[in-house]
């Protein structure tokens, strides 16, 4: 898509990137995969997500893909930690 040094992505390009990201991440959720790097390392764990991964990576700037992937892992860890903390404290 857009490489560094060129003009920033348009509103439509950003919307398309977010749409492709969401589709890919939903597929990862269905496969119970937290880290998108898993699909890179072991594609057989989520063969149905490979085409979505390709579209996502082609439709978004590489720096955005890297950011979104890291953010997904961090967000999921945080949710798990909060759930664990609530269970330990007896609150729900």
All structural domains of the chain with their residue ranges: 11-90
SS3 33: coil
80 confidence band (pLDDT: 50, 70, 90): confident
Between helices 50-59 and 11-30, what is the axis angle to 10°? 160
How many CB atoms are located within 10 Å of the residue 59 CB? 20
Position 87 confidence tier, pLDDT thresholds 50, 70, 90: confident
| pLDDT per residue as tens digits for the range 20-73 | 999 999 999 999 999 999 988 998 999 999 999 999 999 999 999 999 999 999
Do residues 46 and 38 lie in contact, with contact meaning Cβ atoms separated by under 8 Å?
A: yes
Higher-pLDDT residue of 85 and 20 is 20
The model's pTM is 0.80
pLDDT of residue 2: 46
């Amino acid at each position: 898509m857009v490489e560094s040094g060129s003009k920033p992505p348009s509103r439509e390009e950003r919307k398309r990137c977010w749409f492709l990201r969401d589709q890919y991440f939903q597929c990862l959720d269905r496969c119970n995969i937290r880290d998108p790097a898993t699909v890179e390392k072991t594609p057989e764990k989520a063969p149905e997500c490979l085409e979505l991964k390709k579209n996502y990576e082609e439709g978004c700037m590489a720096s955005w893909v890297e950011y979104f992937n890291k953010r997904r892992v961090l967000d999921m860890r945080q949710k798990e930690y909060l759930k664990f903390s609530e269970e330990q404290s007896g609150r729900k």
